[in-house]
């Protein structure tokens, strides 16, 4: 659509209604476009970032480890003044990883809900995904956090609800910790 700039008194009468109609048509046409989705790989799994979830990729920044934590909890990073927990999702899911490959941090969500996961390959942009009629086999650790499965780019993608996944992880740790108290 050709941009038009309105100055006071420049568009009047029929030309104003034509202008408004052209804006409405352009907005209506834009609403039919699909928003691209992003996915990332963890070994053999292809995980689709939830619709509407903000994400970003950051260079491997300094990770500050915390003592007496699980091996899969790598520590914390400082992301624009906020502390963000970093998880080794390969270890959590017990998936072999090629440590020779460069690692990236994928930040999922923002502010207090933000979490970072180490990934070995850059995320994939998926412009055209279609729901699968049946759910494929999902690893036990992901059953509660995968809502739907999609086909896109000749690959099966599991829609990953990171909030459910990390809430479950925290709940599982809370159940284990009383057994290992240091009193």
Same domain for 134 and 47: yes
Q: Tokens 């899969």 map to which residue? A: 72
Q: Are residues 88 and 156 in the same domain?
A: yes
**Distance from C-alpha of 114 to C-alpha of 86, rounded to nearest angstrom:** 10
Judgement on whether residues 141 and 71 belong to the same structural domain of the protein: yes
Beta-carbon contacts of 4 under 8 Å, excluding residues fewer than 6 positions away, are 11, 19
Q: How buried is 168 (Cβ within 10 angstroms: 0-12 exposed, 13-18 middle, 19+ buried)? A: middle
53 and 116 inside one domain = yes
If asked whether residues 3 and 69 sit together in one domain, one would say: no
pLDDT tier at 58, thresholds 50, 70, 90: very high
Overall number of domains in the chain: 2
Residue 133 is part of a domain; what is its CATH number? 2.40.50.180
* Domain enclosing residue 11, as ranges: 1-33
- Mean pLDDT score across all residues of the chain: 83
Closest to 152 (Cα-Cα) out of 127, 121, 122: 127
For residue 160, the model assigns a pLDDT of 96
101 and 14 in a common domain: no
pLDDT tens sequence across 8-36? 444 444 566 666 676 666 666 555 556 78
CB within 8 A of 68, min separation 6: which ones? none
Residues 161, 74 share a domain: yes
pLDDT digits (tens, 9 = 90+) for 118-162: 999 999 999 889 999 999 999 999 999 998 999 988 899 999 999
Secondary structure class of 25 (helix, strand, coil): helix
Give the residue among 134, 182, 127, 179 at the shortest CA–CA distance from 158. Answer: 134
């Amino acid at each position: 659509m050709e941009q038009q700039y309105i100055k006071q008194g420049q568009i009047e009468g029929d030309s104003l209604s034509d202008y408004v109609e052209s804006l409405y048509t352009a907005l209506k046409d834009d609403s039919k476009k699909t928003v691209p989705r992003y996915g990332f790989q963890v070994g053999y799994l292809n995980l689709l970032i939830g619709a509407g979830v903000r994400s970003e990729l950051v260079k491997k920044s300094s990770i500050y480890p915390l003592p007496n934590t699980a091996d899969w909890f790598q520590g914390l990073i400082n992301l624009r003044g906020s502390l963000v927990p970093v998880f080794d999702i390969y270890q959590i899911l017990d998936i072999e990883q090629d440590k020779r490959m460069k690692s990236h941090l994928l930040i999922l969500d923002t502010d207090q809900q933000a979490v970072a996961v180490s990934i070995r390959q850059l995320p994939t942009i998926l412009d055209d995904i279609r729901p699968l009629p049946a759910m494929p086999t999902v690893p036990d650790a992901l059953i509660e956090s995968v809502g739907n499965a999609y086909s896109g780019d000749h690959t099966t993608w599991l829609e990953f609800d990171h909030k459910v996944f990390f809430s479950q992880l925290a709940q599982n740790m809370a159940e284990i910790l009383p057994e290992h108290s240091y009193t």
